[in-house]
């Protein structure tokens, strides 16, 4: 991978931290809809001793492997498309989920999940994907991956609200264990 690509990935991670969790890291704030001012973000990152310019930011937004960020219409503001721990309303419309969605986690969390359900933990929502591969990759971040197929159809019938982020991540509230399709769990730890 070229140096530029490596730099972009590192900067992308830093921008995720700022736009999802800790804008105070570079002394900026987000508005109620999660938007940061683009010039404030660039100035803040530079003040922290890292190099960025508008071309680099535009490249990161365009080329990020998960399309994690969006500009507003006139490109004066930027926000993360999902993954927030801070309470912002990114104006996602409720969406009708497919019958089955997948949550990737690690085998070491299974006992606790069985007992308490899939909890949002630090984030605003539980994150789900419509495909198994993505869920496996999410799970691997935490250890030996396990994929929990979720009966999203039943959840929707029971009144759970789902959201689909701009970058196609399914989001919802805490999920009780009874919605996990136990017989279809994919456990890579075994």
Q: Which stretches of the chain bind ligand HQG, using CB under 6 A?
A: 16, 66, 68, 83, 105-106, 109, 112-113, 116, 118-119, 121-123, 127, 138, 141-142, 169
Centroid of chain to Cα 29: 19
DSSP code for 175: B
User: Residue 149 Cβ, how far from ligand HQG at the closest point, in Å?
Assistant: 14
| Closest to ligand HQG by CB, 4 or 108 | 108
| Closest to ligand HQG by CB, 74 or 190 | 190
| Closest to ligand HQG by CB, 17 or 43 | 17
User: Residue 74 Cβ, how far from ligand HQG at the closest point, in Å?
Assistant: 25
| Closest to ligand HQG by CB, 42 or 169 | 169
User: Residue 160 Cβ, how far from ligand HQG at the closest point, in Å?
Assistant: 16
Centroid of chain to Cα 144: 20
| Closest to ligand HQG by CB, 83 or 97 | 83
The 8 Å CB, 24+ separation contacts for 111-118 are 113/148, 113/177, 113/180, 114/177, 115/177, 117/174, 117/175, 117/176, 117/177, 118/148, 118/150, 118/174, 118/175, 118/177, 118/180
User: Residue 141 Cβ, how far from ligand HQG at the closest point, in Å?
Assistant: 6
User: Residue 145 Cβ, how far from ligand HQG at the closest point, in Å?
Assistant: 10
Ramachandran bin of 69, using left for φ above 0, alpha for ψ from -120 to 50, beta for the remaining angles: beta
Q: d(Cα 78, Cα 80) in Å, to the nearest integer? A: 7
């Amino acid at each position: 991978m070229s140096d530029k690509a490596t730099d972009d990935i590192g900067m992308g991670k830093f921008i995720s931290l700022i736009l999802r969790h800790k804008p105070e890291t570079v002394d900026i704030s987000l508005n109620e809809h999660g938007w940061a001012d683009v010039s404030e973000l660039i100035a803040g990152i530079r003040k922290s001793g890292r190099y960025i310019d508008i071309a680099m930011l535009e490249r990161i937004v365009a080329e990020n492997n998960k399309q994690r960020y969006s500009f507003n219409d006139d490109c004066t503001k930027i926000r993360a498309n999902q993954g927030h721990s801070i309470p912002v309303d990114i104006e996602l419309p409720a969406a009708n989920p497919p019958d089955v969605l997948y949550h990737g986690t690690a085998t070491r969390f299974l006992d606790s999940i069985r007992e308490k359900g899939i909890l949002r933990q630090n984030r605003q929502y539980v994150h789900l994907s419509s495909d198994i591969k993505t869920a496996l990759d999410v799970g691997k971040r935490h250890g030996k991956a396990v994929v929990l197929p979720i009966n999203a159809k039943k959840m929707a019938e029971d009144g759970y609200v789902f959201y689909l982020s701009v970058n196609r991540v399914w989001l919802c509230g805490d999920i009780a264990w009874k919605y996990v399709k136990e017989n279809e769990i994919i456990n890579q730890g075994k």
